[in-house]
Structure 1
Amino acid sequence: MPQNRTRKIVITGVLGAIAVLLGLTRLGFIPWVSGASLTIMHVPVIIGAVLEGPIVGLGIGLIFGIFSLIQAAVAPTGPADVWFTNPLLSVLPRLFIGPVAWLVWQSLRKWTVPALILAGIAGSLTNTILVLGMIGILGFLPFAALLPIAIANGLPEAGVSALITLVVVAAWQQFAVGNRKGARL
């Protein structure tokens, strides 16, 4: 069993590092309409949870959240970044991404492809809803302003997250997707 624990620690570290790398290089931000960006920095959290369980997902989410907090404090890129110096906004919501994605994956595991797609969507929407909800609770923006943001950014992010989760996990686990093995869609 120590070998399994070591594997989980290594995967947590590697996927956490990928989340940080996506943020540092800005590769985790896909340009979107009117200057907004779709973030995929939470996708390693989802993938880690699906592959290794909710504790690994929680660990990667913690790394992602702490990185968000540090980046907002040290190298802000916009006026709203100062909000993310509050750990209730930058860290707490990210802790739930992995466990929610894992629960969806476990519940629907019998149907591999839909389960991976829905795990990607659920993990992404968890991030969107909890971060935007915390922005509203902390009073940074009124709740009425958050719904358009959730629709304009949250739904496309969920779609991208679902696709990346499906492709990466199918390739890693060699799941059949359609009539092929792996991620060759």
Structure 2
Amino acid sequence: MGVVLVMYPPEVVGAIYQRGKRVKGRSWVAASCGPDATMERLGMALLHLSISARAPERVAAFLASVLGGRQLPFPPFPDSWIAFAEQDDGTAIEVYPLTHRLVDGGETIACEVGEADEGDTFVHAAIGSPMSRDAILSLADAEGWLARICNRGPFDCVEVWLEGRLLIEVLDPEMRRDYRANMTMDNWQKMFGI
């Protein structure tokens, strides 16, 4: 029996409470959906992700291709794009220029434009693709980006380095099956002896 936590913005929930008391300064609230709620019933866990790139439209086009969907402009912020997944259920990756920063705009997020940040990052994402591993490798090769098949222990992935700076682990259908079967809390604890 599991409990799923769902994050709600305060405008949806109203005042934010923790154990019946309002928590000041929080921008979210976690609410339990109950013991019978599962991610299978509720849908995906990661809804969308945002990254930055030198060429946002190009990177969004690549990501849309591996997701089996399409890229579209992202009008809330200038020169930004969004890559939607094939299933068109809201799964998406927003791609901003390296000059853009998301900041607290007081009542909601805001975009500040400054100097480009071209440095390496520890941020990475694993995404599922309907494409075969060979097709993913070919698509990355056509962009001139490093791509290779790697074993992460509990799963294999196609490691793609977008623009040579940002890691995206792309999993074809077979790799996703292994990921779902092997990337569990129990298996993680066994693998690392914790």
Output the TM-score relative to the length of structure 2: 0.28
Q: Which has the higher strand share?
A: 2
Output the TM-score relative to the length of structure 1: 0.28
Q: Which has the higher contact order (CA 8 A, sep 6+)?
A: 1
